[in-house]
């Protein structure tokens, strides 16, 4: 008599399931580090402006430089730090845009020119 060989329809034993892992995982600490550094960066540049227009232009410049750093980090460095940079930069730009829009709404004059 021949021993039983499974047909493959019902697996005979447990085979290890494949695991798919990110080659460069993003950690919460790295995101927090990028966010903290970018918040300080935007505050320092925002303080260089003497009025709302100066604040908005300095914030735009600081955010653009931060995004360039984030692009470099995505390609060659830590993706978690790049994520923190991108999130806080978007928030900083949103705050500057809201301040400009509020001044425009209240005063009726576009404050950036």
7-66: per-residue pLDDT in tens?
A: 667 666 666 777 778 777 899 999 999 999 999 999 999 999 999 999 999 999 999 999
What CA–CA distances, in Å, run from 89 to 11, 19, 34, 39, 41?
A: 52, 34, 10, 8, 10
In a domain, 21, yes or no: no
Q: Strand, coil or helix: what is 41?
A: helix
Provide the domain count of the chain.
Answer: 1
In a domain, 113, yes or no: no
Would the pTM count as exceeding 0.75? yes
Alpha carbon distance 25, 108 (integer Å): 48
Query: In terms of residue numbers, what domain contains 75?
Result: 28-107
């Amino acid at each position: 008599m021949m021993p039983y060989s499974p047909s493959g329809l019902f697996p005979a034993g447990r085979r290890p399931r494949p695991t798919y892992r990110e080659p460069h995982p993003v950690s919460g600490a790295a995101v927090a580090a990028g966010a903290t550094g970018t918040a300080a960066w935007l505050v320092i540049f925002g303080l260089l402006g003497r009025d709302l227009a100066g604040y908005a232009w300095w914030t735009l410049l600081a955010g653009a430089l931060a995004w360039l750093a984030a692009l470099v980090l995505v390609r060659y460095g830590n993706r978690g730090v790049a994520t923190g940079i991108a999130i806080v930069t978007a928030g900083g730009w949103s705050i500057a845009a809201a301040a400009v829009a509020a001044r425009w709404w209240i005063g009726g004059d576009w404050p950036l020119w």
